[in-house]
Amino acid sequence: MRPAAKYKYLEREGVLAFAHRGGDRRAPENTMAAFHDAVGQGYRYLETDVHASKDGVVYAFHDDDLNRMVGEDVAISTLTAAEIDKLRVHGDHHIPTMAELFETFPEARFNIDAKAWPVVEPLIALINKTQTHERICIGSFSDKRIKTVLRGVGDVCHSVGPLGGVRFRLAAWGRLPIGYRAGALQFPVSEFGVPMVTPASIAYAHKRGLQVHVWTINDESTMHDLLDMGVDGLMTDDCALLKKVLVTRNLW
């Protein structure tokens, strides 16, 4: 059974379905076309990564550099917002700002991965300016970045970072009665050959008041296996597939 949500962000019947980077099967990742497609299918949880421009504008973009998505070998953090706004992903799509996403999708909730230190302060400022505290969950591959964002915006929904994940696995193994401020664990199925999501770890997480969200799942059989275990959320690139699976299980 899912634990009571610690944050309003996590309050939802059924399983939380996250469109990973907007879901990139029908449109390029982290583009307005991808986010519109996901929302059009009924998704209300949108996952994205953020970087900041040289002058402190927060953009929804995964990579440190523009090579893979734009074809330019330059770091996004070295460009001004005016320069970034002229760029096109795969020739057709502009790089959206986080402010644009907040405004365009007022009913959506965003799982935000602060990818690098230069984005932390601009992200804090944006959240406070837009008052989107209840619409966000903060994650990162840096425990320190998560804590820094929380110091700036207050106790918003957040997941544990990498060190927190290690501590959780050790605590789950020893069944230690440790408390957590975080609202969720957001793990891959396994990491470095070590299973991260198991029936036992899910049961322990629920006892500690944590939801378990798993990324990034694009295989139907794996979706069913994880749902059978009792996970609380799935992140996917294939929004149509995950929706189909959840609909068939009456979890949409």
- Distances in Å between the Cα of 89 and the Cα atoms of 31, 84, 93, 100 are 8, 11, 5, 16
- Distances in Å between the Cα of 143 and the Cα atoms of 3, 18, 125, 182 are 23, 22, 20, 11
Compute the distance between CA of residue 99 and CA of residue 64 in angstroms, rounded to an integer. Answer: 20
20 is catalytic: yes
Yes or no: say if 21 and 62 are a contact pair by the CB < 8 Å rule.
yes
DSSP state of 212: E
Catalytic member of 36, 62, 133, 206? 62
Compute the distance between CA of residue 49 and CA of residue 232 in angstroms, rounded to an integer. Answer: 21
Compute the distance between CA of residue 139 and CA of residue 113 in angstroms, rounded to an integer. Answer: 5
Q: Which two tokens stand for residue 18?
A: 């996250």
Catalytic member of 20, 93, 158, 213? 20
62 is catalytic: yes
Compute the distance between CA of residue 7 and CA of residue 171 in angstroms, rounded to an integer. Answer: 23
Helix axes 143-153, 162-174, angle to 10 degrees: 100
Catalytic residues: 20, 62
